[in-house]
Amino acid sequence: MKNISKLFKMIPLLFLGIAITLFTAVGCEDNIKFEDNVPDYTYSIIRDFKVNGQSAAINHTNAVITYTLPAGTNISSVPVEITLPEGATVEPASGTTVDFSKGPVIFTVSNNGISRKYTATVAAYGSPMIMSFSIGDKTGTINQAAGTIEITVGSQEDITKLTPLYIIPGGTTSTPQSGVAQDFTNPVKYTVVSNDGFTGKSYFVKVTQLPNPFISSFKTGEDICSVTGIVDNTASTIVLDFPSGTNLSSITPIIAVTAGSTVSPASGVAKNFANGPVNYTVTNVEGLTKIYAVTARIINSTKKVAFVSGASCVESITEPDTKAAALWLKQNYAEDFVYIQASNLSAQALANTKVLLLYWDNVGTQKMPDTASGITAAQVQVITDYYKAGGGLIVEGFGINLLDEIGRIKMGSVVFQNNGGNTNPVGGQNLDAWGLRGTYSTAFPNAAANHPLLTGLTKGSTDYYPMNNAKYKEDRNFGIDFGGYDSSFTKGQCSEDRALEFEAATNSILIRWYEWLDARGCGIGLAEFKPQGAFQGTMIVNTGGWLEWSMADNNGAVNDYQNNIYRLHKNAIELLLNK
């Protein structure tokens, strides 16, 4: 029984031994069957991958090769040089040219029966260029060699707010961006830059606008001084002023229209203007039309408003600003206007005149245009006598040089510094808007603050009256600076006390100075000189360098504040007519 008992006690140990034996047998069998299937790439790698002599980046973990060539490189034929371990081969082979233009290329390295595939991507930075350029339905002509783009738009487009669309290659950026509105009054520069950061190309885009159906000239003869119509393209009207006794029933106009346009009735066909306006229709190259109402009238001018220049008639004045000033007077004061050629200036010529505008501009000289000698001493004396007798004067532009000669105020040549006009250099872009100061930090009299010459003028974004906007400007005419002016004055320049001292001594009102100076007492900007002593007339002096009557020759620029110039002169003329 004891032996049987011992047998039962050994049974668990017997099972444990069997289990250990079985477990050991199974474990040994697994160790024998396991195999390492990861290839040994030690001798099947690309050690160096050169493109055009430069080593590309190699990620051996992922077997990826990348390289970016300069902009414009032809990636369809790229030479590659590959360094491998001893005994290894690669396909495509080292030293061959490879086409990467269709995307990544697989390079297979083999050695000792083991192969590895590398994915190589060779690209090029974007080639900087504009591939196409359009505005609306109009397509530009691109000259890649010259870096120019030319495009023509319709006559009704706003050339200051055109929105071009253009295409550039991938991997490049550009400024200004496509789809951004631009002012194409002047050519606009577009620059395309490759993402390599240093390769770029610029284009100058020139927009030509088809001409509106406009009448540019309507006159009665080939002579420049024949009766010339005042053309208002905004109102679609033309006015012809004839002297007393003219037969209006048969007038043969000579008509000029914009390029490519036609007009009906045609130029050179006699028409009857005695019964009222005659309609003329202009058609441009786009088929757009504009109808003008042309009126002929008999004018018996009062000759109250006069303009003097060297040319034989207003239309023959050669300097654009001077001519524009005379034409504005003729158009707006037709029944009171008289033009006087300088050579005909006399007391009799000014017998009925109440307002004489002495304004002229010029290039390279301060002389009156169209007269070799300028205004003579005898002619200055006629003006002086007229002024002393109570005549009204508006003196501005280079006409300010007469102030010394007239003798109303003392002004040495060193005070009025006008170099014939300059914006350093003469003519060019200027980012400042020019005009008249609105108010000053120091209070000044109501006579200046609320002067009637300022009635109806529009103020700018800051406290001044802008007269010429921040675009192309022809010149800058300097005014009368109190810095060296008349040593008999004792108060400090650019002080209100100096302004009051000057006004008391000259019976004047210093109305405004220029917008960047915060004092009236800096000099004469815009002033009214009331009668004093022998001088019984009233004189308006305007030294504004911003005064450009015409912007036509200013590189196509447009003055957004031209109406302020017109309104200022209307105010001055009305003030003098009512004296």
What is the per-residue pLDDT for 166? Answer: 96
pLDDT level of residue 13 (50, 70, 90 thresholds): very low
Residue 511, φ and ψ in degrees, nearest 5: -75, -50
Terminal Cα distance for the chain, rounded = 158
Cross-strand bridge partners of residue 237: 232, 293
Of the listed ranges 27-36, 57-66, 279-288, 563-572, the least confidently predicted one is 27-36
Please say whether the dihedral angle defined by the alpha carbons of residues 347, 353, 354 and 356, taken in this order, is positive or negative. negative
Assigned architecture for domain 304-578: 3-Layer(aba) Sandwich (3.40)
Pairing state of beta strands 89-91 and 78-83? unpaired
What is the residue-averaged pLDDT of the chain?
87
Phi-psi region of 428 (alpha: psi -120 to 50; beta: other; left: phi over 0): left
pLDDT digits (tens, 9 = 90+) for 189-208: 999 999 888 889 999 999 99
What is the per-residue pLDDT for 170? Answer: 84
Nearest alpha-carbon partner for 391 in 349, 329, 333, 447: 349
Matching fold, domains 48-124 and 304-578: no
pLDDT level of residue 265 (50, 70, 90 thresholds): very high
CA dist 436 and 510 (Å) reads 12
The encoded tokens of residue 226 equal 């024949």
Instruction: Report the top-level CATH class of 48-124.
Output: mainly beta
Distances (CA, A) of 135 to 272, 385, 462: 45, 61, 35
Nearest alpha-carbon partner for 322 in 514, 332, 528, 330: 330
pLDDT digits (tens, 9 = 90+) for 448-495: 999 999 999 999 877 889 998 877 777 666 578 787 777 788 899 899
Eight-class DSSP state of 535: B
Residue 122 has a CB neighbour count (10 Å cut-off) of 23
What is the per-residue pLDDT for 429? Answer: 72
The encoded tokens of residue 19 equal 């289990």
Q: 242, 299 in Cβ contact below 8 A?
A: yes
Question: Helix, strand, coil shares of the chain as percentages rounded to 5?
Answer: 20, 30, 50
Residue 456 has a CB neighbour count (10 Å cut-off) of 12
User: Could you confirm whether domain 215-298 is CATH 2.60.40.2340?
Assistant: yes
pLDDT of residue 371 exceeding 60: yes
Phi-psi region of 421 (alpha: psi -120 to 50; beta: other; left: phi over 0): left
pLDDT level of residue 24 (50, 70, 90 thresholds): very low
Given the structure tokens 């036509």, which residue do they identify? 552
- Mean pLDDT on 149-174: 94
Given the structure tokens 């990636």, which residue do they identify? 75
Distances (CA, A) of 5 to 9, 11, 17, 425, 555: 6, 10, 19, 128, 126
Domain segments of the chain: what residues?
Answer: 48-124, 132-209, 215-298, 304-578
Q: What is the DSSP string of 78-121?
A: EEEEEE--TT-EEESPTT-EE--TTS-EEEEEEETTEEEEEEEE
What is the per-residue pLDDT for 10? Answer: 41
Q: Which fold has domain 132-209?
A: Immunoglobulin-like (2.60.40)
What is the per-residue pLDDT for 475? Answer: 67
pTM beyond cutoff 0.75: no
Given the structure tokens 């305007």, which residue do they identify? 542
Pairing state of beta strands 78-83 and 172-175? unpaired
Number of Cα atoms under 13 Å in the Cβ half of residue 374: 14
Using a pLDDT cut of 70, give the percent of the chain over it.
89
Pairing state of beta strands 64-69 and 428-429? unpaired
Helices 562-577 and 320-332, axial angle in degrees (round to 10): 60
Q: Between residues 230 and 354, which one has the greater pLDDT?
A: 354
The encoded tokens of residue 148 equal 């120019």
The amino acid present at 235, given as its one-letter code, is A
Using a pLDDT cut of 90, give the percent of the chain over it.
64
The amino acid present at 421, given as its one-letter code, is G
Q: Between residues 378 and 552, which one has the greater pLDDT?
A: 378
pLDDT digits (tens, 9 = 90+) for 304-324: 999 999 999 999 999 999 999
Of the listed ranges 325-339, 397-411, 545-559, the least confidently predicted one is 545-559
CA dist 497 and 501 (Å) reads 6
Neighbouring residues of 50: CB distance < 8 A, sequence distance ≥ 6: 56, 80, 81, 82, 83
Alpha helices in 315-458 (DSSP H): 320-332, 377-388, 402-406, 446-449
Nearest alpha-carbon partner for 400 in 381, 385, 378, 415: 415
Element (H, E) at 468: strand 464-468
